[in-house]
Amino acid sequence: MNKHFDISVVVPLYNEDESIPELYSWITRVMNANNFSYEIIFVNDGSTDKSWDVIEGLSANDPEHVRGIKFRRNYGKSPALFCGFEKAEGDVVITMDADLQDSPDEIPELYRMIKEDGYDLVSGYKQKRYDPLSKTIPTKLFNATARKVSGIKNLHDFNCGLKAYRKDDVKNIEVYGEMHRYIPYLAKNAGFDKIGEKVVQHQARKFGSTKFGGLNRFVNGYLDLLSLYFLNSFGLKPMHVFGFVGTLMFFLGFLACLVVGGVKLVAICNNTPAPLVTDSPYFYIALTMMMLGTQLFLAGFLGELISRNAPNRNNYQIEKSL
* Residue whose C-alpha is closest to residue 155's, from 119, 130, 107: 119
Residue 97 CB neighbour total at 10 angstroms = 20
Strand partners of residue 172: none
Strand partners of residue 5: 90
95 vs 132 pLDDT, higher one: 95
Digit-coded pLDDT (tens) for 190-204: 889 899 999 888 776
What predicted TM-score, i.e. pTM, was given to this entire model? 0.74
CA distance 101 to 86: 25
Mean pLDDT of the 37-56 span:
94
Q: Is the dihedral of CA 277, 278, 284, 287 positive or negative?
A: positive
Contacts of 21 (CB under 8 A, 6+ apart): 54, 58
CA distance 269 to 294: 33
Confidence of residue 9 (pLDDT cuts 50, 70, 90): very high
CA distance 234 to 229: 8
The rounded mean pLDDT for the chain is 84
What confidence score (pLDDT) does residue 189 get? 83
3-state secondary structure of 271: coil
Mean pLDDT of the 46-66 span:
94
What confidence score (pLDDT) does residue 228 get? 65
What confidence score (pLDDT) does residue 47 get? 92
CA distance 14 to 76: 9
CA distance 114 to 165: 7
Asked if residue 155 has pLDDT above 70, the reply is yes
CB of 111 within 8 A of CB of 25? no
Asked if residue 255 has pLDDT above 60, the reply is yes
In degrees, rounded to 5, the angle at the alpha carbon of residue 198 between the alpha carbons of residues 43 and 42 is 10
Q: Are strands 38-44 and 66-70 parallel, antiparallel or unpaired?
A: parallel
Conformational region of residue 76, where left means phi above 0, alpha means psi within -120 to 50, and beta covers everything else: left
Asked if residue 85 has pLDDT above 90, the reply is yes
Asked if residue 82 has pLDDT above 60, the reply is yes
Q: Are strands 163-166 and 90-95 parallel, antiparallel or unpaired?
A: antiparallel
Confidence of residue 165 (pLDDT cuts 50, 70, 90): very high
Query: How remote is the C-alpha of 135 from its chain's centroid?
Result: 19
Share of the chain above pLDDT 90, in %: 43
Q: Give the DSSP H or E segment for 248.
A: helix 244-269
Confidence of residue 28 (pLDDT cuts 50, 70, 90): very high
Residue 42 exposed, middle or buried by CB count within 10 Å (0-12, 13-18, 19+): buried
Mean pLDDT of the 136-151 span:
78
Confidence of residue 302 (pLDDT cuts 50, 70, 90): confident
Greatest pairwise CA separation for the chain in angstroms = 99
State residue 145 phi and psi, 5-degree precision: -70, -40
Residue 316 CB neighbour total at 10 angstroms = 7
Asked if residue 280 has pLDDT above 70, the reply is yes
Q: Is the dihedral of CA 110, 114, 117, 123 positive or negative?
A: positive
Asked if residue 1 has pLDDT above 50, the reply is no
